Amino acid sequence: MSLSEQAYHRIRRMIIELVLEPGAVLREDELKTKLGVGRTPIREALQRLAREQFITVVPRQGMFVSGLDVSELSLLYETRAVLEPYAARLAAARGTDEHWADMAQALRAAEDPQAEPATLLSVDRRCHEIMWDAAGNRFLVDTLDTLYAQSDRLWHMYLADVVDMDHAVAEHVAILDALREGAESGAAELLEAHVRSFDEQVRVAVTARLASPLAGG
């Protein structure tokens, strides 16, 4: 992995996990010191993050971590609700026994009753990544990776302290069964339900937060 790629993943992870919060100013010199890489990899990483809308560039003012407006939740959901089931169909048709063995292994990490929510979210992401790989369409993978990252960011914003991830991860057991059996329609339906469940939880959490007496500050 190149230095630019490493910088990209590290900065994106800081944005997703709210180490760099929405509206935060991004300064190349500070990131260079923090990440221990040169200016060129940092600049290339920031350009890529801007293209993916994690960063907003304001002429003559600088670069800022982009916000996620509540009004955009429906756009994120409707896009994932189309593309994730499509990826599941492709994966059911093209996936290998090795893919499904990898997914089963990933799910075993969620069997620990003491597993932290962040660990369960990591399992959820790994299951999606395996399915994307099994779909065999790199253009689809790039798009879904960005969409999932934005969903991951929403989880950290609204759900990390209030939602139990056990159910979300458990849904992947049924999804894995459908994928392994090559049940394209079944896998697609399960993936759509999985994405819809996440969307509904975010909406409930956002509504509760906006209704809170503390919401105004």
List domains and CATH numbers for the chain: 3-65 (1.10.10.10), 70-211 (1.20.120.530)
pLDDT tens, position by position, 57-81: 998 899 999 987 777 788 889 999 9
What are the CB-based long-range contacts (under 8 Å, 24+) for 108-114? 110/166, 110/169, 110/170
Spatial distance between the Cα atoms of 50 and 188, rounded to a whole number of angstroms: 31
pTM over 0.75: yes
User: What's residue 213's pLDDT?
Assistant: 57
- What's the pLDDT band for 161 if we cut at 50, 70, 90? low
Which structure tokens are listed for 68?
């996620």
Question: Can you list the alpha helix ranges (DSSP code H) found in the chain?
Answer: 3-16, 28-35, 39-51, 73-94, 97-108, 117-135, 138-154, 166-181, 184-211
Give the list of residues 6+ apart from residue 121 with CB closer than 8 angstroms, or none: 152, 155, 165
